């Protein structure tokens, strides 16, 4: 069950990015979001995430986003923590592929949203996703 919830969330992220649907995309991200592991930033919150996505969508910067592998670390009825590899391709050919640790939470309205994301080091990614 947790893996199917994560896969559905992935599919929705990919769809909203490909359609550059900012409003629907940001509805998959909690207002409580905390993104860590980005060089030069202690933590990125909802407003900064939203502004960055809006700019990327308006400028059609991202041409593809994919997720490879799911390693469920913990799951309850309300939360799912997992690790995956996210690969983002930009229109200029730049490819960013990195391991991420994510926490989805079922919020009061019943929707699963991303509340935490941490970019992993290459060593952590290799450790957690080897064989997945």
Q: Which residue would you say has higher pLDDT here, 132 or 119?
A: 119
**Which DSSP string corresponds to 19-82?**
TT-HHHHHTTEEEEEEEE--TT-S-B-HHHHHHHHHHHHHTT-EEEEEEEEEEEEEE-SSEEEE
Give me the pLDDT at residue 127, please.
87
Q: Looking at residue 8, what is its pLDDT? A: 97
Q: What are the boundaries of each domain within the chain?
A: 2-129
- Read off the pLDDT of residues 76-94 as tens digits, 9 standing for 90 and up: 999 999 999 999 999 999 9
CATH number given to 2-129: 3.10.450.50
pLDDT at residue 108, as a whole number: 96
Residue 98 tokens, joined: 């990195």
Q: What is the pLDDT of residues 16-27, one digit of tens each?
A: 999 999 999 999
pTM for this entry? 0.93
């Amino acid at each position: 069950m947790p893996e199917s919830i994560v896969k559905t969330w992935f599919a929705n992220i990919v769809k909203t990015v490909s359609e550059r649907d900012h409003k629907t995309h940001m509805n998959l991200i909690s207002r409580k979001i905390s993104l860590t592991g980005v060089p030069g930033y202690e933590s990125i919150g909802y407003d900064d995430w939203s502004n960055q996505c809006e700019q990327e969508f308006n400028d059609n910067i991202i041409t593809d986003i994919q997720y490879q592998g799911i390693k469920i670390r913990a799951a309850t009825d309300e939360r799912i923590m997992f690790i995956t590899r996210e690969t983002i391709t930009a229109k200029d050919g730049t490819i960013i592929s990195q391991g991420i640790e994510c926490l989805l939470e079922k919020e009061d309205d019943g929707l699963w949203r991303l509340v935490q994301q941490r970019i992993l080091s290459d060593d952590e990614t290799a450790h957690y996703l080897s064989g997945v």
